[in-house]
Amino acid sequence: MGDSDTVLIRNASLEARVSLLGAELTRLANERVGNVLWEPDGLYWNQCSPILFPVIGRSRNGRQRIGDRLFPMPDHGFASFSRFEVVARDEDSCTLVLKDSSKTRKYYPFPFSLELRYALHGESLQCLAGISNPGSSPLPGSFGFHPGFKWPLVTKTPKSDYDLIFEEDRWLDCHRVIDGALAADVDRIQLVDHRLALSDELFTQSALVALSCRSSTIHYQERSSGTQVSISRYGLPHLAIWTRPSARFICVEPWHGHTRPVGFEGNLRDSPGSFLIEPGETRSFSMTLAIHCP
């Protein structure tokens, strides 16, 4: 993509870049650490911070039951490969919108408006999402952010020197994803001083999905220097943590909704964790990313 396909915003502390394709945040950098986001490659993962809508995860047989029909549904929905329109921008913020069209109705037969606003405030980036229902019937769906961060974050530090810090949790009750579906079994992971020590071994089975994480802010921290990225969430009660073993990224993903449970074959509006937006209403979600350098 050329520069005309991205929006650059900056302030005295940070620089961010947002792609019109998927309204995806592709760069978040300061002078001391540089870009903290994963830089896509074809070997491990070719994205860096996709938007997940109107589903999260993999639909059964690549199809989603909506009403009395089955519709094709890509993994994590279609927002990530849809082109958004820039409706507002200035030096330190931008707003992009995706509305329903003949293309989206192939997957999702509803009128909707999905708005993403990215705004820099000091050393943080606020990512605001609003989903509006201009139709005459309830709008079902799920929404999630999927930021991937460099791991290691600081050059030449080992991956074993990194933690996730959960301010309000002493353990995480995590589900695994089996063949694209959420397993019922719960794996309780004890935290040491609110810290989860990161390792490839945590993810050899699959992502970790926590449906009851209490912490509104999670810190991704390099232990030796204290350099960290903080991920704060609002309106997004579910959390996934994911990488591919031996890859050099870690994803910390605030969601409202999650991939379908094992055995679930029901309608989208009945999918566990999903939401319904009434006609004329808007549902809002936010994620704030902050870079801290001691």
Mean predicted lDDT score pLDDT of the chain: 96
Stretch 209-235: mean pLDDT: 97
- Span 226-254, average pLDDT: 96
Supply the pLDDT for residue 245: 84
At residue 25, the pLDDT reads 98
- What is the pLDDT at residue 288? 98
Lowest mean pLDDT among 133-137, 153-157, 163-167, 228-232: 153-157
**Residue 57 near residue 256, CB atoms below 8 Å:** no
User: Quick check: 261 pLDDT over 70?
Assistant: yes
pLDDT at 84: 98
Structural domains in the chain, sorted by start: 3-292 (2.70.98.10)
pLDDT tier, 3 (very low <50, low <70, confident <90, very high otherwise): low
Question: Which of 28, 51, 38 is closest to 97 using CA atoms?
Answer: 51
Amino acid sitting at position 8: L
Query: Residues 100, 65: contact at Cβ < 8 Å?
Result: no
How far the first Cα of the chain sits from its last, in Å, is 35
Confidence of residue 42 (pLDDT cuts 50, 70, 90): confident
Cα atoms in the Cβ-side hemisphere of radius 13 Å centred on 278: 1
The count of C-alpha atoms lying within 13 angstroms of the C-alpha of 13, restricted to the half-sphere facing its C-beta, is: 12
The two structure tokens encoding residue 30:
């300061």
For 136, other C-beta atoms within 10 Å of its C-beta total 8
> What Rg, from alpha-carbon coordinates, does the chain have?
18
Contact yes or no for 144/56 (Cβ under 8 A): yes
CA 141 to chain centre: 15
